[in-house]
Structure 1
Amino acid sequence: MHRRFGTIRRFVHCAATVNHPYVSLFRELCARWVNRVRWLAGAAGTKARGLFRAALRGIRHPTRRGVVLTLAALPVLSLAYTLALVPFTPRLGDIRKARVDRPALILSADGNVLAEFKPVNREWVTLAQISPHVVNALIATEDHRFYQHHGIDLRRVAAAALHTFTGSRQGGSTITQQLARNLYPDEIGRAPTLTRKLKEAITAFKIESVYSKDQILETYLNTVPFLYNAYGVEMAARTYFGKPAADLDVLESATLVGMLKANSAYNPVLNPDRALERRNTVLAQMVKYGKLSAHAYAWLKRQPINVNFEPQSEQVGAAPHFAAQLRKWLSAWADSHGYNIYSDGLVVRTAIDSRLQAMATQAVAWQTSQLQSIANGAWNERTGCWPGNALFQSFIRQTTEYRSARDTGLTDADAIRKLATDASFVEGLCHSKTQIQAGFVAMDPRNGDIKAWVGSRDFHDEPFDHVQQARRQPGSTFKAFVYGAAFADGAQPGDTIVDRNVAIPLKGTAVWKPTDPEPPTGRPMSLRDAFAFSRNRVTAQLMQREGAGKVATLARNMGVRESALDPVPSLALGTSPVTLREMVSAYCTIADRGAYVEPRMVTRIEDRNGNVLADFPAARPEPALPAAAALKLVDVMRDVVNRGTGSDIRTRFGIHADVGGKTGTTQDSTDSWFILIHPQLVAGAWVGFDDARVTLRSDYWGEGAHSALPVVGAFYDMALRARAIDSRAQLAPGSTTPATPRTGHARKRHHFLFWSF
């Protein structure tokens, strides 16, 4: 106001220097307006000062009328404030849903259950399935007038207020109020404020209006949190006593109810003495309110706490990594469409084939087990998990034990020396760093359906997803984009490039010199042979001809759409990290004659009654690579498995269908890849260690053909023999008869697993 008034005053002052009839009239109007504003401001200030003085006089010299009006106004204001909070508490419809555990059901394409999306690790049980000792202990300890009030116990509120006034705080919350806090921690909060208590009381009244007393008890006992990821009395009973809630005796019931006051403080596993004391307090309350005889109490209070502790893990289902990714997507979809994935009973039909998923899981487990035995041998020698190894010392420096040792004043050398003498520490660190990991995904190239997804060896031990989350260098599997770009520009598989040493200048004075395990021949090599035998020198020259930018653009168009690609010459050999999901999606583009189809997880969402809520048809194909170029690429990929680096697909696994593929291995065998294409199914695997500094050298099966290929080979062997895919399907016109393995390389076909699907 003062700033605006000053601006007007300055404007009027400037106008005073101009002599014009209209300006004079405007100046007069402005002067009148300014005087009016001054008068109003003065009047308002005078009135406010008068009211303030009157208020002070009322406080200093209260009258009977003033006291009566004040006392009458307080409940009115309190009621008005309480009513104003009602819209900020949970709605009755939401409260009705709270006690209904209808998690989203995730189904495979063939109708099998893959997962249930529960909010917490809980199994809902009815009140009849809970020991009556639990109910008696709960009511006696937490709310002995539970059946006499309607959500708020005014006697307890008054008693709690009196104790607080006298300096000893005492809780006044009923079971219904505690349930309100447990169900709606975000809406109500836990701050010790009047607003929070009012919201809690309003919600408690709403709960009492919707639920019966037994329903309130059932909901409370199923939603109350315990430690160790156990929610509800059923999971708590299994966790601490190894039995269902229906079988809990009075001592076990009192122990669990005693934990409700403070889970950590009265944890019978970590604090048995405090838990025993608290349990006996609960038993005394049961005696006080007639739920237990004094004679029984005298004997029970002397009994020890007998814990049978076993944390309960959640059921992960057949495709846990896929389900974890799907949960994120479904949560966003449900929020935008007004559904709750935990209580609305959604039925989500996915593209996963449960048979193929089981085959993929088995193939990953088999091959990683083979490789782990090799890794254990390699990393338990003096060159591996040995404190004298510089790499292992760097692992030690990353541990909390090392930091704690340094905090005590030890030098770096002394801290490492001290930890190196701890055999269990060394063994545990070695184990955590040298666990072989893998990722596998299979898609239908015709519609983008994701048919199988295995993100790691074991979801419990390694929830990190090596299909979607991990970005690793793809090695020679990226060469498909270099050759695809060349074929799109008119190159033919029979065209040749001299196999020679090359030096490609980079920015500044840097030079890139790609190498191969074999020395250069100095002779022309066809693109077909260069791709089949994965020659880096020839590929680098082809990349130089096509341009890194063009190759990067093609890779993005074909499916590598989330990872950043650095358009440098070395990109030809897969130096930019990507995800396995992107690479398999891009290879689907090759199998589908150059048309990219976005991967699809979900085909349909229904409600619990079978009504369709949403359909998700396959995405429209996008031209990414000319069909003629894609057919040439398919042709040279056949040679990879017929006679090149992927020939184990034919010789070792005996797969005679029309397939093509590509191996990939990065420097020091840090990352091993293999992707195989079939007209109806494209699958790829990555194998390696989470820490890229840990490697499985090529002489220990580190190459993609030895480590990643067997996962894919075993999977296709199972899929073809189970007729999950058609062995007669054709990728494209051309020679589909596998080359006869050379005598020196022929191997007996092995069936590594006994599978039945």
Structure 2
Amino acid sequence: MAKKRQKKQQQNFFPFIKWFWILFGAGVFSVVLIFLLASWGAFGEMPTFERLENPSTNLATEFISSDGETLGKLYLNDNRTPVTYEGLPQNLVNALVATEDARYFDHSGIDARGTLRAVAYLGTKGGASTISQQLSKLLFTEKPSGGVERIIQKIKEWVIAIRLERQYTKEEIIAMYLNQYDFINNADGIRSAARIYFGKEPADLKTEESAVLVGMLKNSSLYNPMRREELVFNRRNTVLGQMAKYGYITEEAKDSLQGLEMKINFNPESHREGLATYFRMYMQRFLNRWVEENPKPDGEKYNIYLDGLKVYTTVDSRMQRNAEEAVQEHMKNLQAEFFHQNTPDRNPTAPFLDLTRGAIDTIMDRAMRRSARWRHLKRDGVSEKEIEATFHKKEEMTVFDWNSDSYEKDTIMTPMDSIRYYKTFLRTAMMSMEPQTGHVKAWVGGIDYKHFQYDNVIQGSRQAGSLFKPFVYASAIDQLRYSPCYTLPDNQYCIEPGKHGNMEAWCPKNSDGTYSGEDMTLKSALANSVNTITAQLIDRVGPGSVASIAKSMGVTKEIPEVPSIALGTPDVSVYEMVGAFGTYANQGVYVKPVMVTRIEDKNGTVLYEYTPETKDVLSKDVAYAMVNLLEGVTQYGSGGRLRHTFGKNQTVYKEIITGYPYELTNPIAGKTGTTQNQSDGWFMGMVPNLVTGVWVGGDDRSIHFDRLAYGQGAAMALPIWALYMKKNYANEEIGVSQDAFEEPEEMSINIDCSKEQEDEEEEKIDTEDDLDDLDF
């Protein structure tokens, strides 16, 4: 009976067992089917992950300096430059695995234990998302709108995670994940994040720094180091705790690291911030021209924002930083003095000088019509009357300010007032080049690219003033074989009307309006920028010869063949003048300035290599004679303050010149330049392996210092050169020469004026002896 009852119970229970296995099998089959359907695309197109391995649509173009540093990047939305797994520090990998996926190296894309735990505890004890799943999640560009869509996306993530594990190694997946993640603040990928938040490459990250970045992976917007310092600090320590929990660091190391202050070294990477901004924007224009002329093999154009080009430049990041610091140090001080001299009481028309109200209104109206606001509203179809009205309505804006740590301040003013405000700031340009190769080592186009985007290195051209005189002297030495010791009288000198195409007689005065009446050597005359001597030289060689030699040395602007060019009436750019002066330092060979040595695609294939453009302009002895002349400028001429005190103007100059005394003792050739009314101040300085040009002036020629003491090139431009060179010399690794210029083996032009004086005295004695022998 008992057996019967037991058998009947088993028969009654059997259907439950059968249905259990049927349902279980159906469930498993359903799950498998769902994953199969997802992999077949039944729930919508699956996002590809090819771009993770071959990211052809989201790589920034990278500008690399001659010393191997990244100067900056060009990108639209993704500031991303991938690194390989080998480029990641082990402490970063350890922090990632300990925090995000402790069993990462043991599973195949899905962590079963983690998933069961998440289901059992409804996610209260951590999620189940593996690193592979998190990487797959990054492939979805749109967030699901509802619960069903989220479930479907989660299924897709699982499928992709398994595929990723089959196609890539664990190490490759880690690298791809860190390269793909958006760390905000334009920090796309781990390399940008390391550079932006800590100013270093990923391989150089310390353990506590890696912990900050890994902590951001939970939610980069929430754990933003620039906004929520305490929250990020606590999250960093949580990551360090996880590293200790899984044995990647000791408890002692954890306690020590958790006690460290969190030091964020924020280095924003945007088109308007960072190192070499003006140079990078020039490179953008260069690349735009290059892609037009150099298509891909399939005929398509390279995209300079997305194709991941690597542009190897000639700029040295250390010298560039020195140049920018020198500009900031001097220009801030110089601007303070300019403001002091242009208060409403001292100058009611500030910042303009010697202009009528009508002339000022014309300048302001022209500036308004050239502004970006005018162009944008005009393009939108707004009438000119309505556009002009907007320029007189006050609004909130952020403007440049030297006295702020960030060089910015918030204010309220009208757009027209802001135009006038910006015109009060003196502008500058600086370029530094290696004369033997033409390699440009530093490029500063202005005081702050974010607020002053006009590049005065290559876009701006201003009168050269006395900086043009060496072209006259070079013509005279080259054609007439004059030596630096050749003498001419310092007397008033006039060139007759019509002799060289001039309509009227040209009788230039010296800068102080006086004439010594004494004979002066060419070396002394150039050192002291004596106009009468220069006038005599251009009269002898002709303006055409001077214009020709200037063009041969890289000046591209039109040069009228009239005598007045001797005093620097032509407009030139800093870019042109640096290339031209490089001819003297390079033994008479002009080398066109070079900014790019090669361009590679994302795979390292070389797409472009530069070919030097050179031209023999002067013989070696003429070039060296010119160097000797220009050395006189820094020995006892207007550039002498590089070496010694300012004499009677010492008090005046100390007010505006930063870093004085400079006390440079090495051989230096140079030339100052000052235009009429002190509108432009120039200085060109040369050592054997570096030529550097500096210009300082206002946005308009009517914006200038009232006194020559403040507005001459020796006060406005020369200090930037001096500060820059002292910074270069402080770092011996840069290798800027302090040696003498190399003299040619066969020097046919005498540069020893003491010897020439002895020869003249001997010749005079011989002549007197001959006269004594004559019988009258």
Report the TM-score, using the length of structure 1 for normalisation: 0.57
User: The residue matched to 2:62 in structure 1 has which SS?
Assistant: strand
User: Does 2:462 align with 1:472?
Assistant: yes
Q: 2:483 aligns with which of 486, 492, 503?
A: 492
C-alpha distance in 1 between matches for 2:606 and 2:534: 50
Shift of 1:590: 0.3
Task: Quote how far apart the aligned CAs of 1:314 are.
Answer: 4.0
The one-letter code of the counterpart of 2:459 is: Q
TM superposition shift of 1:527:
1.2
Per-residue displacement from partner, 1:24-64 (whole Å, max 9, x unpaired)? xxxxxxxxxxxxxxxxxxxxxxxxxxxxxxxxxxxxxxxxx
Letter in 1 for 2:641: D
Question: Residue 709 of structure 1 corresponds to which residue in structure 2?
Answer: 718
Alignment of 1:638-649 (within 5 A): 638-649=631-642
Partner of 1:319: 276
Q: For each residue in 1:374-430, what CA deviation from the matched residue of structure 2 results, as whole angstroms up to 9, or x when unmatched? A: 11112223353548963655455557599999969x9xxxx9xxxxxx994586344
Secondary structure at the counterpart of residue 682 of structure 2: strand
2:463 alignment partner AA = Q
User: Which amino acid in structure 1 is aligned with residue 282 of structure 2?
Assistant: Q
- C-alpha displacement of 1:331: 3.3
Query: Shift in Å at residue 658 of structure 1?
Result: 1.6
**1:547 partnered with 2:504:** no
CA distance in 2, matches of 1:481, 1:673: 15
2:565 is aligned, of 564, 571, 574, to 571
Select 2:61's aligned residue among 100, 104, 111. 104
1:653 paired to 2:662? yes
One-letter identity of the residue aligned with 2:692: A
Q: CA offsets per residue over residues 340-367 of structure 1, 9 Å max, x none?
A: 3333322221111111111101111111
Query: Which of 537, 551, 556 is 1:556 aligned to?
Result: 551
Amino acid at match of 2:523: R
Match of 1:693 in 2: 702
Seen in structure 2, the aligned counterparts of structure 1 residues 608 and 389 have a Cα distance that, compared at 3 Å, is same
Q: In 2 relative to 1, CA 691–576 (structure 1 residues): closer, same or farther, beyond 3 Å?
A: same
Residue 333 of structure 1, aligned match among 271, 279, 290: 290
Q: Distance in 1 between matches of 2:621 and 2:78?
A: 53
Q: 1:631 aligns with which of 624, 634, 638?
A: 624
Give the counterpart letter for 1:487 in structure 2.
I
Q: 1:102 is aligned with what amino acid? A: L
Aligned length: 502
Pairs within 5 Å for 1:48-447: 100-119=57-76, 314=271, 316-335=273-292, 336-338=294-296, 339-386=302-349, 390=357, 392-398=360-366, 424-425=413-414, 428-447=418-437
Q: Return the alpha-carbon distance in structure 2 between the equivalents of residues 718 and 679 of structure 1.
A: 17
Provide the residue aligned with 1:591 in structure 2: 585
Runs of at least 5 residues in structure 1 that lack an aligned partner in the other structure = 1-92, 148-221, 223-228, 236-243, 251-310, 416-421, 740-757
Is 1:520 the counterpart of 2:515? The answer is: yes
Does the CA contact (< 8 Å) of 1:374 and 1:700 recur in 2? no
Counterpart in 1 of 2:615?
622
SS in 1 for 2:482: coil
Give the Cα separation in 1 of the matches to 2:502 and 2:601. 61
| 3-state DSSP of counterpart to 2:572 | coil
Deviation of 1:491 after TM superposition, in Å, equals: 1.0
**C-alpha displacement of 1:541:** 1.6
What SS does structure 2 have at the residue aligned with 1:512?
coil
Residue in 2 that maps onto 1:452: 442
Which residue of 2 is the match for residue 533 of structure 1? Answer: 528
Aligned partner of 2:682 among 673, 678, 684: 673
**Distance change (3 Å), C-alpha of 1:497 and 1:327:** same
Note if contact 1:103-1:118 (Cα within 8 Å) is conserved in structure 2: yes
Identity %: 30
Aligned to 2:94: none
Instruction: Please provide the CA RMSD for this pair.
Output: 4.9
Match of 1:256 in 2: none
Give the 3 Å change call, closer, same or farther, for CA 440–248 of structure 1 in structure 2.
closer
Shift of 1:517: 2.5
Q: Distance in 1 between matches of 2:598 and 2:546?
A: 36
* 2:597 counterpart SS class: strand
Distance 1:547 1:376, change over 3 A: same
- Distance of aligned partners of 1:550 and 1:386 in 2 relative to their CA distance in 1, 3 Å threshold: closer
Structure 2: distance between partners of 1:112 and 1:399: 38
Contact 2:502 2:562 in 1 (8 A): no
Q: Which amino acid aligns with 2:278?
A: H
1:129–1:246 Cα contact (<8 Å) kept: no
- Could you tell me whether the CA contact under 8 Å between 2:309 and 2:602 is conserved in 1? yes
SS at match of 2:463: coil
When residues 465 and 488 of structure 1 are mapped into structure 2, their CA distance, relative to the original with a 3 A threshold, is same
Alpha-carbon distance in 2 for matches of 1:442, 1:716? 10
Give the AA of the match of 2:456: H
Going from structure 1 to structure 2, the CA distance change for 1:246 and 1:331 (only over 3 Å counts) comes to: farther
Partner of 1:163: none
Residue by residue, what CA displacement relative to the aligned partner does 1:489-539 show, whole Å, maximum 9, x if unpaired? Answer: 211212222212233325575333312233012222221111010011210
The alignment's TM-score, normalised by the length of structure 2, stands at 0.56
Structure 2 CA distance for aligned equivalents of residues 726 and 468 of structure 1? 24
Deviations 1:540-575 (A, max 9, x none): 121111111111110111221x22212211111111
Deviates more, 1:317-326 or 1:463-472: 317-326
What CA distance in whole angstroms lies between the structure 2 residues aligned with 1:609 and 1:136?
A: 30
CA distance in 2, matches of 1:640, 1:249: 58
Letter aligned with residue 285 of structure 2 = K
* Structure 2 unaligned blocks of 5 or more: 1-49, 83-130, 154-179, 181-185, 194-215, 223-267, 297-301, 375-381, 393-410, 645-660, 745-749, 755-776
Distance 2:714 2:751 in 1: 22
8 Å CA contact 2:445, 2:454 repeated in 1: yes
**1:316 shift after superposition:** 3.5
- Letter of the 2:535 partner, please give it: A
Match of 1:684 among 678, 693, 712: 693
Partners of 2:433 and 2:519 in 1: CA distance:
37
Shift, 1:116, TM fit: 1.1
Is residue 730 from structure 1 mapped to residue 747 from structure 2 by the alignment? no
SS at match of 1:439: strand
8 Å contact 1:104–1:348 — kept in the other structure? Answer: yes
Q: Distance in 2 between matches of 1:139 and 1:629?
A: 77
**Range that drifts further, 424-433 or 623-632:** 424-433
In 2, the alpha carbon distance for the partners of 1:99 and 1:394 equals: 50
The answer to whether the 8 Å contact 2:326/2:723 transfers is yes
Q: Is the 8 A contact 2:64 2:313 kept in 1?
A: yes
Distance, in Å, in 2 between the alignment partners of 1:487 and 1:584 is 21
Q: Partners of 1:509 and 1:683 in 2: how far apart?
A: 37
Distance, in Å, in 2 between the alignment partners of 1:474 and 1:323 is: 26
